[in-house]
Chain A
Amino acid sequence: MVKKKFMLVFTPDIVNEPIVYHLVKDYDLRINILRAEVREMGGRLLMEVEGKAGSIKEAVRFLNEGRVDVQELTNYVDKDETRCTHCGMCISICPVEALTMDRSVWKVRYDAEKCIACGMCIDACPPGAMKFRI
């Protein structure tokens, strides 16, 4: 079993498709929806997916065929170490504690594994060290 994070982006015409149902039923995946939004331009779904590596691969193919843009999230947010002053402004902002203060050296640690790409830290970082990696 492997765990991966994906951002699914879909156009308004397929918003009514029960995508998650298919992922669970047809590919036997455990889905944890981290963020979902539907706007006039379409929708975005951020999910953590757990399942067999082969099943995940097939599910991605299924999504691509269904005109869903799938991006795997690895290090979705970058922390620019040359900009970061380790003030810790981001610490109380991050909803999943991907950003924490290492109190032995008073440095901010960023755990990309925990990040759900919510973007809360981006405009909360005064020296501008946190950026979306796109």
Chain B
Amino acid sequence: MKRTVAEINEKIRSGDVVVMTAEEVIPYVQSEGVERAAREVDVVTTGTFGAMCSSGAFLNFGHSEPPIRMQKVSLNDVPAYTGIAAVDAYIGATELKTNDCGYGGANVIEDLVSGKAIRLKATSNGSDCYPRKDIDTFVSLSTMNQAYMFNPRNAYQNYAAGTNSSEKTLYTYMGKLLAGYGNVTYSSAGQLSPLMNDPTLRTIGIGTRIFLGGGVGYVAWEGTQFRTNVETKNGVPMGGARNLATIGDLRGMSPDFVRALNLPGYGVSLALGVGVPIPILDEDVLKAAAVSDEQIFAPIVDYSVQSRNRRPIKHVSYAELRSGKVELFGKEVRTSSLSSYMKARQIAELLSERIENGEFLLTEPVAQLPEDRSTGTLEVRSREEAV
């Protein structure tokens, strides 16, 4: 069985397309077999909704009278990066408001998506072409020229679960980790997660149209720290491997899928909804997309070890993690998820609906993402050693 993206789009236009979520397709493939199911199913939709720290938005405010070349910018007192053209800025999700660790760039982005006005303050040294030295005003999605997310790292393929062997509670980006292996936290939608369902990125690449924050987005590039050299089980990496750099207009997004998170002791992050449609080009693509939580494994690492080399305590399946408890050193330990499975499911279902209604066409990648990539580390080096 072979199928092309063009053929699938033809079926979407004629209303004949068969779409299933990555969850629905599991029992279907089990009962019908891969061969038969592949003939029936054209598209499998995926979804994830979790903390994606490496997110942010490019904004263009428009020119003031007289004009200013902004050299320092804050949005609701959260600093934004403005070392680009005069009235362009980038607001990063984890940037914190001055003297307040509970409000940050993610909150600004959520407020913008919610349609709220944001206080913009900017200063400049002034120049012949940009004489103005400061401005204090309000902006919103309806006043700005452009407001689009550009997220260097989204939708991680898999991620290590966290626990804590120490005697005190740890406040981490994996949430609150209770002392003495008091709990285990994890952060992946497992069987619903986009890159778990196409683990070698056969169908996902640069230019792939995706669901982003409730609106439409695209895969822009390989995500930062993208790597392929991770041990696999059942074809799926057993730890953080590939991920996507994404881009998409804030207009059209919804606060239901763009939510600021506050992780006390760590800072602010952005929970973002990402959904990727997988065109079922052949049986192998479907087989990969029918992967289930029982077949996907994540390492559990001890966050009290303050090193980049944290050896996994053990590997557990997402079925175990999602059951609410895992076994650790002969003891039952309760689990918590940082990403919302309910929202992941909602995203996959919404994407299915949009495809079935002919509102969302599939794309072929403009270019594939790297097949072979490893990540390096940062060492303290001399100028000579760095080249």
**Co-complex (A, B):** yes
Say whether B336 contacts A127, CB under 8 Å.
Answer: no
Say whether B345 contacts A85, CB under 8 Å.
Answer: no
Say whether A93 contacts B324, CB under 8 Å.
Answer: no
| Complex Cα gap A103–B322 (Å) | 9
Say whether B262 contacts A128, CB under 8 Å.
Answer: yes
A90-112 interface with B by 8 A CB criterion: 90-93, 101, 103, 105-107
Q: Which one of B120-128, B236-244, B263-271 is at the A interface?
A: B263-271
Residue of B nearest to A100 (CB): B324
Say whether B337 contacts A126, CB under 8 Å.
Answer: no
Q: Is A9 an interface residue (CB 8 A)?
A: no
Q: Which B residues are CB-close (under 8 A) to A131? A: none
Q: How many residues of chain A are within 8 Å of chain B by beta carbon?
A: 20
For the residues of B in contact with A, the DSSP-based class is strand
Q: Is B185 an interface residue (CB 8 A)?
A: yes
Q: Which A residues are CB-close (under 8 A) to B337? A: 87-89
Residue of A nearest to B260 (CB): A127
Q: Is A123 an interface residue (CB 8 A)?
A: yes
Known contacts: A92-B336, A93-B176, A126-B269. The answer to whether A85 contacts B184 by CB under 8 A is no
Say whether B178 contacts A127, CB under 8 Å.
Answer: no
Q: From the candidates A92, A106, A120, name the one contacting B334 in the complex (CB within 8 A).
A: A92
Q: Which A residues are CB-close (under 8 A) to B259? A: 85, 127
Q: Is B219 an interface residue (CB 8 A)?
A: no
Residue of B nearest to A105 (CB): B342
| Complex Cα gap A31–B324 (Å) | 32
Say whether B345 contacts A87, CB under 8 Å.
Answer: no
Q: How far is the CB of A81 from chain B (nearest CB, A)?
A: 12
A60-104 interface with B by 8 A CB criterion: 85-93, 101, 103
| Complex Cα gap A97–B62 (Å) | 52
Q: Which A residues are CB-close (under 8 A) to B336? A: 87-93
Say whether A86 contacts B343, CB under 8 Å.
Answer: yes
Q: Is B112 an interface residue (CB 8 A)?
A: no
Per-residue interface assignment for chain A, residues 27 to 38, with 1 indicating a CB less than 8 Å from any chain B CB and 0 otherwise: 000000000000
Say whether A106 contacts B345, CB under 8 Å.
Answer: yes
Interface centre among B171, B264, B333 (most CB of A within 10 A): B264
Q: Which A residues are CB-close (under 8 A) to B171? A: 123
Residue of B nearest to A99 (CB): B336
Say whether A92 contacts B262, CB under 8 Å.
Answer: no
Residue of A nearest to B175 (CB): A89
Q: How far is the CB of B182 from chain A (nearest CB, A)?
A: 8
Q: How far is the CB of B343 from chain A (nearest CB, A)?
A: 6
Known contacts: A93-B183, A126-B51. The answer to whether A88 contacts B340 by CB under 8 A is yes
Say whether A124 contacts B324, CB under 8 Å.
Answer: no
| Complex Cα gap A92–B324 (Å) | 8
B248-263 interface with A by 8 A CB criterion: 259-263
| Complex Cα gap A120–B171 (Å) | 12
Q: From the candidates A86, A90, A124, name the one contacting B340 in the complex (CB within 8 A).
A: A86
Interface centre among B176, B338, B345 (most CB of A within 10 A): B176
Say whether A106 contacts B183, CB under 8 Å.
Answer: no
Q: How far is the CB of A63 from chain B (nearest CB, A)?
A: 33
Say whether A91 contacts B324, CB under 8 Å.
Answer: yes
Instruction: Name 25 interchain pairs, CB-CB below 8 A, sorted by A.
Output: A85-B259, A86-B340, A86-B341, A86-B343, A87-B50, A87-B339, A88-B340, A89-B175, A89-B336, A91-B334, A91-B335, A91-B336, A92-B185, A101-B324, A103-B324, A106-B341, A106-B342, A107-B342, A120-B176, A123-B171, A123-B264, A126-B261, A126-B262, A126-B271, A127-B260
Which 5 residue pairs across A and B have the least CB separation, nearest first? A92-B183, A92-B334, A126-B261, A92-B336, A106-B342
18 further A-B pairs in the complex, CB-CB below 8 A; given A124-B176, A126-B269: A85-B259, A85-B343, A87-B49, A87-B271, A87-B338, A88-B336, A88-B340, A91-B335, A92-B185, A92-B336, A93-B176, A101-B324, A103-B324, A106-B341, A106-B345, A120-B176, A126-B175, A127-B262
